[in-house]
Amino acid sequence: MTRILLFACAVVLSGIASSQVLAKVDDAELTWDDVIYMIGGEQNAEYLGVTSEASAEEILQSWVREELLVRAAVESGLESDPEVSRALEQARRQILLEAYMYKLVDGIQPSRLEVENYVDQWLETYKKRIHVQHIVVDDYNLAASILARIRAGADFSALASQYSIGPSAENGGDLGWIVRGQSGYMEFDEAAFRLDDGEVSDVVKTDAGYHIIKVLESAPLDPEPTLDDITEMVTMELTQAMQEEVLMQKVDSLRQYHDITLYPERFLEKF
């Protein structure tokens, strides 16, 4: 079965034209360009180990087998099967979504100076790990009220268990030991890693909600990451943050052109 459906493959034939037909089934044609697309780039062709005309023919036969089976599936009416139709539509949505997001963020990345400035400011935070608790809620006023109670001496763990909407609530908000980049939110990391042991943050906003963060203890990383390691991580984090900002701005701009209605109470009823 796996061998029949295997055409994630290519033929290594030197000098072949990209548009030259390699195989045909009725009106369907396979070209070198098609092959390169299927395997994710010409750099992957070498891994197929095609060394003879016989092995090249077997690769092409795998595409023929796949094409014959796909045609048989279409002719049998499978496309109209509800489950198949739903899966096809989901695949179409995912492909369009990923292609459009890539188009929006293509080329967006921090400058070398931006990376260097960030590293200079936050260098020490990448050299340690911290043991943290947090409380996350979806309302700023509630977060501010909880923080006031903590400042007045209320138990952090008890309030986390009572109010936090995060999965760590059942553990009193305990996230365990984390390093920079692990939370997934730069705003969270910047607030958490500047705290001293036992210190509690102000209210911190991320896409997940409004957080109150407490550092229980901290320790240096062993081995300590190199400057190159830290620079690479900062570049990745800043790139992701910049791209997410562009995406969110686009989503916000699109909202004005559409009628949007949410029924969270109906969704909640399913649980």
Q: Domain end: 52, 76, 100, which one?
A: 76
* Predicted local confidence at residue 11, as pLDDT: 38
d(CA 148, CA 150): 5
* Predicted local confidence at residue 140, as pLDDT: 97
| Whether residue 126 has pLDDT greater than 80 | yes
Single-letter code of the amino acid located at 245: E
Let me know if residue 226 belongs to a domain: no
* Predicted local confidence at residue 13, as pLDDT: 41
Neighbours of 242 (CB within 10 A): 15
Q: How confident is the model over 15-62, as pLDDT tens digits? A: 445 678 999 999 999 998 888 888 888 888 887 777 889 988 998 999
Residue 4's pLDDT band (cuts 50, 70, 90): very low
Share of the chain above pLDDT 90, in %: 80
For 211, residues 6+ apart whose C-beta sits below 8 A from its C-beta are 134, 135, 136, 143, 188, 191, 201, 203, 204, 205
Distances (CA, A) of 221 to 16, 183, 211, 251: 53, 17, 25, 38
42 and 140 share one domain: no
Residue 220's pLDDT band (cuts 50, 70, 90): very high
> Of 206, 205, 214, which Cα lies nearest the Cα of 160?
214
Structure tokens that stand for 197 in this block: 């042991």
Mean per-residue pLDDT, 77-103: 96
Q: How confident is the model over 86-97, as pLDDT tens digits? A: 999 999 999 999
Let me know if residue 52 belongs to a domain: yes
* Predicted local confidence at residue 18, as pLDDT: 64
Mean per-residue pLDDT, 7-13: 41
184 and 132 share one domain: yes
Mean per-residue pLDDT, 116-137: 97
Residue with the larger pLDDT of the pair 177 and 32: 177
Let me know if residue 99 belongs to a domain: no
DSSP state of 25: E
Q: Which residues pair with 28 in a beta bridge?
A: 25
Given a contact cutoff of 8 angstroms between Cβ atoms, the answer to whether 218 and 130 are in contact is yes
* Predicted local confidence at residue 17, as pLDDT: 56
Let me know if residue 169 belongs to a domain: yes
Given a contact cutoff of 8 angstroms between Cβ atoms, the answer to whether 110 and 246 are in contact is no
Let me know if residue 269 belongs to a domain: no
* Predicted local confidence at residue 165, as pLDDT: 95
Residue-range definition of the domain harbouring residue 28:
1-76
Residue with the larger pLDDT of the pair 264 and 201: 201
DSSP state of 184: S
Residue 216's pLDDT band (cuts 50, 70, 90): very high
Neighbours of 127 (CB within 10 A): 15
Given a contact cutoff of 8 angstroms between Cβ atoms, the answer to whether 59 and 69 are in contact is no
Mean per-residue pLDDT, 245-270: 94
Q: Which residues pair with 174 in a beta bridge?
A: 133
Q: Strand 28-31 to strand 209-220: parallel, antiparallel, or no bridges (unpaired)?
A: unpaired
Let me know if residue 22 belongs to a domain: yes
Distances (CA, A) of 29 to 9, 57, 143, 244: 15, 15, 61, 39
User: CATH code at 132?
Assistant: 3.10.50.40
* Predicted local confidence at residue 211, as pLDDT: 98
Mean per-residue pLDDT, 54-71: 92
Q: Domain end: 76, 94, 124, which one?
A: 76
Residue with the larger pLDDT of the pair 157 and 38: 157
Given a contact cutoff of 8 angstroms between Cβ atoms, the answer to whether 59 and 32 are in contact is no
Residue with the larger pLDDT of the pair 1 and 189: 189
Q: Which residues pair with 23 in a beta bridge?
A: 30
Domain count, the chain: 2
* Predicted local confidence at residue 12, as pLDDT: 39
Let me know if residue 68 belongs to a domain: yes
| Whether residue 205 has pLDDT greater than 50 | yes
216 and 119 share one domain: yes
d(CA 255, CA 261): 11
Let me know if residue 91 belongs to a domain: no
Strand spans (E) along the chain: 21-25, 28-31, 128-137, 174-178, 204-206, 209-220
212 and 128 share one domain: yes
| Whether residue 14 has pLDDT greater than 90 | no
Question: What is the three-state SS of 116-133?
Answer: HHHHHHHHHHHHEEEEEE
